[in-house]
Amino acid sequence: MYLPTLRQLEYLIAVVDLCHFGQAAERCHVTQSTLSAGLSELENLLQAELVERTRRKVQPTPLGLEIAEKARTVLEGARDIAEVATAAGLPLSGRMRMGIIPTIGPFVLPRVLGGLRQAYPDLKLYLTEGQSADVLDQLHRGDLEAAIIALPYDTGNLKTFDLGGDAFWVALPKGHALAKKRSLSPADLPTDELLMLADGHCLRDHALAACSLAGFKHSGEFASTSLYTLAEMVANGLGITFLPEIALNSGMINTQALELRPLKTNGAPRQIALVWRASFRRDLDIAALGAYLRGRMAGLRVKRKI
């Protein structure tokens, strides 16, 4: 009896999840023709139709759905075998795929990756940037081994390693009336001047929650997907915004063009965390990576003098 290959099972899962051959091929890092051929070979091997193909859509059959769920268990077991073998070698060696969100990655990675390569030269770290929901979805699917996100966020049954707090600062245009104060409270902020990230960015939700403005809706049409853009708009006198502390000394944002004041709230700041699946077997690798990142990131939070 011939058995399905892991690659064929991966193709099936991707098609079942996405119901689109092109997107499934992109996820699997193959051409659409390669994926389609692999799936057809699987169907011929099993002598069963797993997906219905029409010009408009791809729809998994009931049998396809059932086999895809069993395939997930098979792939998870295969990953466990690889992870156990890797864990038996040097700490933080071999391949690791890590996700990170865009309000952390640009400000942290350039300042920690060089030292990480020196400390663990046998580690091949592959990075993926995306919003929290996308990164955690990839982590749950097994496409990533770990991720760096900001809490609070619903992580389900994932395990977490605290990398430290990340307080909010208020960015003001030069000469703004609020710049006379050494620090600002939520009550000081003119909500009609607030410039925010677009929906879907957890930093937006964390900042609004810290200010008890969870229902905030901006009256204008502008919502940015980038902290750089927000900072430039503030520098040009178009409003005020929030910046995370890790961004202030990163060199990625022109803070000299801004007035920056700490935001004083009653609650705890957002927390940066390393997250991973409980089934991930490389506990020593996670512990080493978490300890390294926490130590290096502590130096990124040096308070600016007013």
* In the predicted structure, residue 299 carries a pLDDT above the cut 80: no
**pLDDT tens, residue by residue, 238-291:** 999 999 999 988 888 888 899 999 999 877 678 999 999 988 878 888 889 999
Q: pLDDT at residue 222 above 90?
A: no
CATH homologous superfamily for the domain 89-165+269-301: Periplasmic binding protein-like II (3.40.190.10)
Q: Which pair of tokens denotes residue 199?
A: 């929906």
- Binned at pLDDT 50, 70 and 90, residue 306 comes out as very low
Residue-wise pLDDT for 107-144, tens only, equals 999 999 999 999 888 888 999 999 999 999 999 988 89
Report helix, strand or coil for 274: strand
User: Which tokens in the block code for residue 298?
Assistant: 């502590």
Query: How far apart, in whole angstroms, are the C-alpha atoms of residue 51 and residue 48?
Result: 9
Per-residue pLDDT at 296: 87
Fold annotation for 6-86: Arc Repressor Mutant, subunit A (1.10.10)
142: amino acid identity, one letter: G
**Residues 185, 264: contact at Cβ < 8 Å?**
yes
Higher per-residue pLDDT: 97 or 208: 97
- pLDDT value, residue 84: 64
Lowest mean pLDDT of 2-6, 23-27, 111-115, name the range: 2-6
List alpha helices for 216-300, DSSP H: 227-235, 245-248, 283-298
Which of left, alpha, beta for 29 (phi over 0: left; psi -120 to 50: alpha)? Answer: left
Average pLDDT, the chain: 86
Question: Does the pTM of the predicted model rise above 0.85?
Answer: no
Q: What is the pLDDT of residues 135-168, one digit of tens each?
A: 999 999 888 999 999 999 999 999 999 999 999 9
- CATH 3.40.50.300 holds for 168-262: no
Minimum mean pLDDT range among 32-36, 186-190, 205-209 = 205-209
For residues 200 and 305, which has the higher predicted lDDT (pLDDT)?
Answer: 200
Residue 176: pLDDT above 50? yes
The lowest-confidence range among 35-49, 153-167, 206-220 is 206-220
pLDDT at 89: 63
For range 183-210, the mean pLDDT: 84
- Is there a shared CATH topology between the 89-165+269-301 domain and the 168-262 domain? yes
Q: How many angstroms from the chain centroid is the CA of residue 157?
A: 16
Please tell me the predicted confidence (pLDDT) of residue 192: 87
Domain positions in the chain are 6-86, 89-165+269-301, 168-262
DSSP summary character for residue 36:
H
Residue 88 has pLDDT above 80, yes or no: no
Tell me the residue ranges of DSSP E strands in 119-246. 123-129, 146-151, 159-166, 168-173, 241-244
Displacement of CA 264 from its chain's centroid (Å): 27
